[in-house]
Amino acid sequence: MGNSCSNNLGIPPAKGPNAVGCTDFMMDHTAQGTFFRLYYPCQKADTAEKPDWIPSKEYFNGLADFMKINRTLSERIFNYLFGSFKIPALLDAPFKRNGKCPVVIFSHGLGAFRTLYSAICAELASQGFIVASVEHRDESASATFFYREKRESEKADMAPHGSPASAPQNLQQEWMYYRALQHGESEFPLRNKQVKQRAEECVRALDKLIEMNSGIPVENTLRTQFDWATLENSMDLCRIAAVGHSFGGATVIESLCKEVKFKCGVALDAWMFPLDDEIFPRVRQPIFFINSERFQWAGNISRMKKLESAAIQRKMITIRGTVHQSFPDFTFLTGNWIGKLMKLKGEIDPEIAIDLCNRALLAFLQRHLDLEKNFNQWDPLIDGKDKNLIQGTNVTMLQSSI
């Protein structure tokens, strides 16, 4: 995408025993289709390259809209700051079969998109998971795209600007940008409608993986080099979890309510506002809330507490020195001064924070997906037993007992 002032900044490589591959999948080219980035254990491939962290300039435009700054100016700034960073995974590398992989569906936050949580998703893949990071089409992503059939007048131009070479020539790329709240508009109806659509998109992504696992041929609109047939009989469909950040945390809870195939959920600094109160008693799966120290407030914690249960494990920890943006990759890609100015960094070293998050997440998944791994070595983290963790919440006016 361009030059960068990286100064040794970068997304940390995954720490598990497997090399990590990634590829993009779009089923049904319309806005109603499924779009996700897949992370998976891969064979090491000398020819494979790491993909750009920001896939195209339209995502910079979307981030500018979300942050309410000028697109032209912001494209230059974002390209300078972030344009040359790569995701720590090999694009379209061959899948490595080694037993059946548990499955995670990942949901991004408000104003984000499918590539921004690669430090978490790649770590899960390196530990043997297949992870589908959904790009939501509910107008909560800063940007996303789909395709429409070309009009007759457009068919003469076989190489339209902005349309990737991998797309079928009869299709025209269409961009969907973040929809800001209108003046005087009530927020809850919009966010509640969005969280329901997001959960449906997570379930559709899971359904697509189940088809692939069954050997049903799939057609990828994006025509990547990855061989989807290699995923046949590769997934452990008894071991499926939902993970998400912020709005994605609410999406996790909505998804658990909607689909019992999700055996547990992990909500990273969840924004609970979009959810109907009535769904809380209907969620039957274990949930793990991993919070930042600077984002949460009493009203949000009280909604998490509505999920407390004597019969179903509900856990909460807070990572000291973290901010809301300590979970997406941005936190690794800015220096200390600008990172704190833009609230992308807290006081804690970002790599220490993400390691705590990932290890606690893996321990919880082992416990509730009944995995035969060694992630239980990190079980104490689930109960906040680390100098950089708080058991429950730091919101002192409402100490949570979960």
Structural domains in the chain?
Answer: 19-398 (3.40.50.1820)
pLDDT at 398: 46
pLDDT at 13: 96
pLDDT at 315: 96
Mean pLDDT of 47-68: 92
Highest mean predicted confidence (pLDDT) among 62-66, 67-71, 351-355: 351-355
Mean pLDDT of 362-379: 97
Of 9 and 25, the structure prediction assigns the larger pLDDT to: 25
Is residue 324 annotated as part of the catalytic site, yes or no? yes
Q: What is the pLDDT of residues 187-234, one digit of tens each?
A: 999 999 999 999 999 999 999 999 999 999 999 999 899 999 999 999
pLDDT at 170: 84
Is residue 255 annotated as part of the catalytic site, yes or no? no
Q: One of 24, 52, 236, 269 is an active-site residue; which one?
A: 269
Average pLDDT across the chain, whole number: 91
Mean pLDDT of 3-26: 84
Confidence of residue 164 (pLDDT cuts 50, 70, 90): very low
Mean pLDDT of 132-143: 97
Is residue 246 annotated as part of the catalytic site, yes or no? yes
pLDDT at residue 5 tops 70: no
Q: One of 118, 133, 246, 292 is an active-site residue; which one?
A: 246
Confidence of residue 163 (pLDDT cuts 50, 70, 90): very low
pLDDT at 260: 97
Confidence of residue 134 (pLDDT cuts 50, 70, 90): very high
Confidence of residue 76 (pLDDT cuts 50, 70, 90): confident
Q: What is the pLDDT of residues 89-110, one digit of tens each?
A: 999 999 999 899 999 999 999 9
Confirm whether pTM is higher than 0.75. yes
Q: One of 324, 326, 329, 355 is an active-site residue; which one?
A: 324
1-10, 88-97, 119-128, 244-253, range with the lowest pLDDT: 1-10
| DSSP collapsed to 3 states, the chain | CCCCCCCCCCCCCCCCCCEEEEEEEEECCCCCCEEEEEEEEECCCCCCCCCECCCCHHHHHHHHHHHCCCHHHHHHHHHHHHCCCECCCEECCCECCCCCEEEEEEECCCCCCCCCCHHHHHHHHHCCCEEEEECCCCCCCCEEEEEEECCHHHCCCCCCCCCCCCCCCCEEEEEEECCCCCCCCCHHHHHHHHHHHHHHHHHHHHHHHHHHHCCCCCCCCCCCCCCHHHHCCCEEEEEEEEEEECHHHHHHHHHHHHCCCCCEEEEECCCCCCCCHHHHHHCCCCEEEEEECCCCCHHHHHHHHCCCCCCCCEEEEEECCCCHHHCCHHHHCCCHHHHHHCCCCCCCCHHHHHHHHHHHHHHHHHHHHCCCCCHHHHHHHHCCCCCCEEECCCCHHHCCCC
Percent residues over pLDDT 70 in the chain: 93
pLDDT at residue 334 tops 50: yes
Q: What is the pLDDT of residues 241-294, one digit of tens each?
A: 999 999 999 999 999 999 999 999 999 999 999 999 999 999 999 999 999 999
Confidence of residue 157 (pLDDT cuts 50, 70, 90): low
